[in-house]
A and B are shown apart, each in its own frame.
Chain A
Amino acid sequence: MRGITKRFPGVLANDRVDFDLRKGEVHALLGENGAGKSTLMNVLYGLYRHDEGEISLNGRPASFGSAKDAIDRGIGMVHQHFMLIPVMTVAENIVLEVEPTRAGVLLDYDAAVERVRDISTRFGLAVDPTAKVENISVGQQQRVEILKALYRDAEILILDEPTAVLTPQEAGELFEIIRSLQAGGTSIIFISHKLNEVLEIADRITVLRRGKKIDTVPREGATEEGLARMMVGREVLLRVEKKPTEPGDTLLEVRSLNVHDDRGLPAVRDVSFTVRAGEIVGLAGVEGNGQSELIEAITGLRPLESGEVVVGGEAVHHATARRMLDHGVGHIPEDRQRRGLVLEFTIAENIALHDYSSPPDSRWGWLFPRRLIQRAARLIREFDVRGGGPTTSGGALSGGNQQKVVVAREIARDPKVLVAAQPTRGLDVGAIEYLHRRLVEERDEGRAILLISLELDEILSLSDRILVMYEGQIVGEHKPGATEEEIGLEMLGGRRKEASAA
C-alpha cells in the first residue's frame, strides 16, 4: 500500500500512509485509538474507498470496490466487533455467501458442516460447527471468524484489536494460533494499541499517529518506551502525581451483592467491598466479567438479586437511579454518548439531568430554563469546557469536552461517592491527563471514588487500592505497588481466592 489517503467529512483519517506486508510475517499496526489503523485496514479490505494512493498485491495492482473483491484476492479480516450472526450456527456463519449447494439451488448444510469440521481440524481450531454462535464463548467466536477467512482461502489475515475482548489466557491461545498460521505461510496484520502484545507477536511493527505513518521497525531492538514515544509523540506520563492518602470513613459498602445480566444469568456473584472517603479504589478486570452489572447495581440502574449497597452508613433498599442520586452517588458512565449525555439536549439541559425536578431548576413541575443556563455557564467556566456555551447542543462538543460536561455535572452535585467507569475511554492524551488530575483532586476533597477501567495502566497509576474482578467475583485485592503480572494473572482467573471484606 503506497500513499494511502482517506478523508472523512472534516477529518483526515489516513494521510499518505505506506504499508507493506511480506509473505509469512506478522506485521503489527500500532497506534492510539483514532490513529487510523482500522481505517487503513478497511481500505485494504475494500470496505472504504481510498481517496489517493495505490494498493498492489503480489506485484499486481489491486483496487477493491467491495469486501468481495478483497476476499477473492485472498484477504480475510477479523473485525474488532465480530461479524457473526448470533442466531445462526457456526457452519452457517462460515459458509455464508460461499454456500455448498445440492441440486444447484438447495443449501447443502451437511456438506457445510463437514467442510467446517475439516478445516477446523486442519488448522487446529477446535469449534463445534453445529453450535449456535450465541451459545459459544467469545474466544470461540473469534476462532469462527478466523475460520471464516481460512474457509475463503485467505493468505492475508487482518486481525483488528483481536485481544481486546479476550482474557489473557485466551489471548495466549490466539498467539499460538497466529504462530501456527504463520508457519503455514499465512501473512498476518495485527492491529493493536498494546505495546507488550505487539512486542511478543510481531516480526515488524508500523506505528501510526493521527493518520500518519511514523515508522516501521523490526521487533529486534524495539522497546516499549521507544514505541510509546512514537505512538503519542512525546514521553508518556505513566504515573499521576499524587500524595499518599489518608482514608476516612467508609462511604460506600457493598455487601454480598448478587446481580443478574440482561439474560437473567448471574453476572455479579457475592461481591463485597468498601470504599472510604479520600481513597480511589480501582476495579480491574477483562471486559464482560461483571463490572458493568456491578456499576449499574450500585447506581440503581439494575435490580439486586440479593445483598446490600450501603452509602454513607445507610443501606439503600429498592434502589432506583433517583434514590441513589439522592443518597449522594455520582456516576460517570461507561459510555458518555449512549448514557452520559442526551446529545440533542443543550449543555444546560444536560447539566440539569439529575436536578431538573427540584428547586432551583423547577418548582411544582414548572421548569426555569434561565436558571439552568446560569448554572451551566458557571460550570463551563469552572471545568474549562471548550467548544460551546450553555445553549450549544451536547452532540456538537468533542469527546473530551463532552466528558468534562459529565464530570462537571456529577461533581457539582457534591457526591459522597463517585463511580467513574472508564472515564478516559476514547479520549486524547490531554483530556486523559485532565481527568486523572481531577479524579485525584476529588479524592483529596474527601470523596470515595470507585474507578473501573479496562486499562490496567490507568488502574495502577490512580488507585490507592486495587480489586480484581473475574467472572463476577472479586478474586484479589492489592496495594498500589502491585505488578502488572500479579494482577494480570488474577484477571484471567489464575489464582482464585475468596474476597475478604476490607
Chain B
Amino acid sequence: MSEPLAPQKGPQPDEDAQGPPSTVASRLARWQDAGGVVVPVITALVAFLIGGLLVLATGHNPFQAYWDIVNGAGLNWLAHPTNTDVANTAAYNFSQTLLQTSSLILTGLAVAFAFRCGMFNIGGNGQYLVGLFVANWIGVSFVNMSRPAHVLIGVVAAMLAGAVWAGIAGFLKATVGAHEVITTIMLNWIAYWIGNYLFQQGGPLQGPENKPLDIPISGNVVDGAKLPVFWGDPALQGLHIGFFVSIGALVVFWLILNRTTLGYEVRAVGYNPDAAAYGGIRVRTNYVRAMAISGAFAGLAGGLDMLGYLYKIGTSDVQVQAIGFLGIAVALLGRNTALGVGLAAFLFGGLLYGTTHGLQSGTIDPSLAGHLTEMIQGLVVLFVGADVLILAVWNARRKLRRRTPTETSPVAPEAAA
C-alpha cells in the first residue's frame, strides 16, 4: 500500500506549490522557535487582563476578584506549606486544585499528543466520558475482586475505552481521510448521549438503589476499587494517588516523543507527512496509533477521576462535563510540551476550583466567576492560535533587545523567485 499523497488535480493553487505543507504541528514548531516561554505568559496575562476589564465593567473589583480566586485555589497555602491538615481551608483548597490539575494534565496531554502528530483532537471530552463510564461500570461491578486488581483493571479498561473512542477517529482519517475535527466532535456528542442513556431512569448503569427514587445516577464504586487517598479525607474528595500517575504521564509523554522511535515517527508525521512517508514511515498507522494514545490519556483521566474521587456519575454530570474541552486550552497554552502542559494544567486547575468553590469574600458571585474561567479559557485559546500576533509580539521584543539588522535568511533567495 502506498501512503496518502497530496491529491493533485488540474492547476494547483500556488500556496501548495511554494514551500512545504503547513501542518498544525509545523506551525506550532514555528511558534516554539518564535516565542519560547514568553508568549504563553503574555497570552495568559492578556486573557486575565481582558477578563478583569469585564469584571470591572460589570461593577466588581477585579483585583479583589482575582485575589479571591487565588485564595480560592488555595495558593495562599503555599505561604504556610507545613500545615497539611485539610481542616485548614487553604490546605483543603490547594489539595482540590491539585485534584483538578491532575485531570487537566491528562486531558491536556490527550490534545497535545495528537497535535504532535499533526491532528487536532477536539474529542478529549468524549474520550474522558467513556473512560468515566467504563471505570464506573467496573468499579461498581466485580465486588469481590482484590483491591489492586480491581483498581488496575478499572484504570486500564478506562484507558482502553478512551483509546478505542479516539481510535475510531484515527481509523477514519487513515482509511477514508475523514477529518479528525469533525469525527471527534461527533464522537463527543455520541458519548454524551450514550451517557445520558446509560444512567437515565431505567438505564443499564443506573444505580439499583436509585431506581425506585427515579434518580438518574449511577451506582457507587465499591470501596475495593477506590484509589488510595494520600492527602485529605476520601469522603471529602481527598487527593488520591492518581495525582502521581498524572505527573508520571508527563514524563512518559516526554520520553515517548523524544526517546522512542514511535515518538520520532509521530513527530515526523506531524511535521511533514510526505517526508515521513518518503522516509519509510507508515503515515496511516501513525494516525491511528497517535489518536489511540491520545484517547488513552483522556480515558486514563476518566478512570482516575471515577475511581479516585467521583465514585458515581449522573446524567446531569455528563451534561455539564467540560474537563476534556479545557484540555484544549491546557495543551495550546502549554505548547504541547510536557512541562508546558503541566504548568498550564496547574493554572487552569486553580482557576477551575478557585472560581467555582473556594470563593470567600463575596466580591464576585461564584457562578459569575465560573463563567469568567470559560471566558479566560476562550481568550487564551484565541490568542494562542494567532501565530501572526505572537510572531509580531516576539519580533517587537527582539527588535527592542538588539537593533542590528536581521541576518540574511538563507531560504529567502528561493522564496523570492
Contact = CB atoms under 8 A, between A and B. Distances in A.
A374 interface: no
Interface string B375-417: 0000000000000000000000000000000111111111111
Contacts of A365: 260-262
B411 A399 contact: yes
A81 B12 contact: yes
Contacts of A352: 264
B212 interface: no
Given A10-B407, A81-B14, A302 B2 contact: yes
A263 B411 contact: no
A376 to B, nearest CB: 14
A258 to B, nearest CB: 14
A331 B410 CA distance: 24
A340 B278 contact: yes
Interface string A345-388: 10001001110110000100111010000000000000000010
B80 interface: no
Contact of B5 (A134, A302, A320, A369): A302
A341 interface: yes
Interface in A376-404: 387, 393, 395-399, 401
Given A338-B275, A354-B280, A367 B261 contact: yes
Contacts of A321: 3, 277-281
Contacts, number: 167
A17 B279 CA distance: 44
A473 interface: no
B374 interface: no
Interface string B269-282: 00110111111111
B1 A303 contact: yes
Given A11-B416, A343-B20, A325 B5 contact: no
Interface in B232-281: 258-265, 267-268, 271-272, 274-281
Contact of A341 (B7, B9, B275, B277): B275
Contacts of A261: 8
B347 interface: no
A177 interface: no
Given A133-B11, A262-B8, A395 B411 contact: yes
A395 B5 CA distance: 22
A210 B25 CA distance: 34
Interface stretch (A31-39, A110-118, A181-189): A31-39
B17 interface: yes
A333 B276 CA distance: 12
Interface of A: 8-11, 13, 33-34, 36, 38-39, 79-82, 84, 86, 133-134, 138, 141, 261-263, 296, 299-303, 320-322, 325, 331, 333, 337-345, 349, 352-354, 356-357, 362, 365-367, 369, 387, 393, 395-399, 401, 426, 428
Given A33-B414, A262-B6, A262-B9, 13 more contacts: A9-B409, A11-B408, A11-B412, A81-B12, A81-B14, A262-B7, A296-B5, A337-B20, A339-B274, A341-B272, A366-B261, A398-B411, A399-B410
Interface of B: 1-3, 5-14, 17, 19-21, 25-26, 29, 33, 258-265, 267-268, 271-272, 274-282, 406-417
